[in-house]
Every structure is written in C-alpha cells, then in structure tokens.
A and B are shown apart, each in its own frame.
Chain A
Amino acid sequence: MTENQKKVLDMLAENKISADEAYRLLNLIDAGEGGRGADVRVEGEKKDKPRYLRVTVVPNSESEKAGNYDRVNVRVPMSLIRAGIKLTSLIPPQAYDKVNDALKEKGINFDLRSIKTGDIEELIEALGDMQVDVESGRGEKVKVFVE
C-alpha cells in the first residue's frame, strides 16, 4: 500500500471524505501508478504486457433512447485470468479423466493435464495482438480487446 492510498483510507475512516470520493481518489492513484509503471516498461521492453481484457457492448443511440438496450463494460485483470487457470490445479486427479472423457464426447480431443503455466503466459502475451470489433445489424458495437 502506498502512502497516498493510506492517506485516502485514513480520510475515509475518519469520515472526512465519502466512499465515492475515496473510490475516485484511489482510482486516480492506481492510474498514476500504472502510468509510471508503463513508462518504465517502455524503456525496458518493446511492447507493454497486457494488463486487462476488456469486453464492451455499446448500443446504438436509437435503441438507448427507446429504453431497449444492452450495455456491457467488463474489465478483467490478466492476473485474474492467470489465477483462474491456476484453479485447474485444484481439480482432483480422478476428475481429470471425467472431464477429458466429457470433452472427447463433444468431439474435443484435449487433455486437461497438458495445460502448463508457461503456455498460459504465451497465450496471454499473444492476446495483446487480439482485437475483435463487431457491429450487429441492430447497430450494437461489440469490442473485445486488451489494454
């Protein structure tokens, strides 16, 4: 925890600022730290490592005005994806065979045991080049990208 974050939390605990203000301030501090980190990375590496997977669905203005719309804005930290993949290590050994058999029944010939942490890192790095941009017939814009 940085000094600034501690100050904001102290102010929140002392009721000097509201929870909304604390949220905004912590977001600003986080963004500031991320920015400094990015500068350092640019010097050391050619390409920044992706930090978040973003999925957005933006409705067209007409359906939004009519009140019949879907709007999605999801930001998933890459670290959460990594941690989620680590959850596979909690699968009991006897369950692996069952999952593999179920996958085979669906026509997917894949051994769940073959997932290695190194492969995941490669996959996450490769995600940096991915961008999905789809516009539906109703004018909805769907975007999947990393930042």
Chain B
Amino acid sequence: MSRPPLLMKLRFQKEDRRFGIWLPLFLLLPVALVVLIILSPLILIAILVLWPSGWGRLALRTIGVSWGLLCSMRGLEVDIRRNNELVFVSAI
C-alpha cells in the first residue's frame, strides 16, 4: 500500500522576493485525520442526503481519489527557473 509523502519543500522567487517553506506532512497528516474523524458524521450525513441525486457517490469517491492523489505525490519534483524567477516543489 502506498503512503503519503512525509515532507514537502516549496520555494518561490520573483525578482528579490523569496518564499520558501518546509511542510512536515508527517506531523500535519495526523492533525488532518483527527479533523476528518471529527467531521465524519457531518460528511456521512451529507453523502446520505446527496445519494439519491448521484452526487453522494461522487463525493464518496472524491475522498478515495484525493487520498490516492496525495499518496502518489511521493517523488514529485518540479524545478523551474527563469532568470530571477524560481518555482520549486518537492515531495518525499
């Protein structure tokens, strides 16, 4: 089973303005999980209400696909530079 990335590094630069951040996903994911557990009754009710219209099934599938998308981001690296501009995204 694939697992989500542990760390994400983001760096942006435009002329003299720079921004860089390390996202410790291994610390943020447990927090997100707790939030999801707390909100799960509301999510479940929303899915049940939307089920007859077909959107409930779509919403349920969205959760699975979103998790899959997050897990498959491991190893992603984007490094684009132009003169004094930079966009760098890395997930490990």
Residues of A within 8 A of B (CB): 1, 5, 9, 12-13, 19, 22-23, 26-27, 30, 51-52, 67-77, 79-80, 82-84, 86-87, 89-90, 92-93
Residues of B within 8 A of A (CB): 2-3, 6-7, 9, 22, 24, 26-27, 54-55, 58, 61-62, 65, 68-69, 71-83, 90, 92
**Hey, which chain B residues are within 8 Å of A27, CB to CB?**
92
A84 touches B69 (CB 8 A): yes
Select one of B7, B68, B76, B80 contacting A71, CB under 8 A.
Answer: B80
A69 touches B58 (CB 8 A): no
Select from chain B the residue with minimum beta-carbon distance to A66.
Answer: B83
**Hey, which chain A residues are within 8 Å of B65, CB to CB?**
83, 86-87, 89-90
Assembled-state Cα–Cα distance A87/B64 (Å)? 10
**Hey, which chain B residues are within 8 Å of A9, CB to CB?**
6, 26
What DSSP secondary structure best describes chain A's contact surface? helix
**Hey, which chain B residues are within 8 Å of A77, CB to CB?**
72-76
Assembled-state Cα–Cα distance A85/B77 (Å)? 19
B79 touches A52 (CB 8 A): no
B81 touches A70 (CB 8 A): yes
A90 touches B58 (CB 8 A): yes
Select from chain B the residue with minimum beta-carbon distance to A9.
Answer: B26
A79 touches B72 (CB 8 A): yes
Q: How far is the CB of A25 from chain B (nearest CB, A)?
A: 10
Q: How far is the CB of A67 from chain B (nearest CB, A)?
A: 6
**Hey, which chain A residues are within 8 Å of B80, CB to CB?**
70-74
Not counting A5-B6, A87-B65, A92-B58, a sample of 5 additional A-B residue pairs whose C-beta atoms are within 8 angstroms of each other reads A19-B22, A26-B6, A68-B83, A71-B82, A86-B65
Assembled-state Cα–Cα distance A23/B8 (Å)? 9
Q: How far is the CB of B41 from chain A (nearest CB, A)?
A: 23
**Hey, which chain B residues are within 8 Å of A76, CB to CB?**
76
A82 touches B83 (CB 8 A): no
Assembled-state Cα–Cα distance A5/B61 (Å)? 31
Q: How far is the CB of A111 from chain B (nearest CB, A)?
A: 20
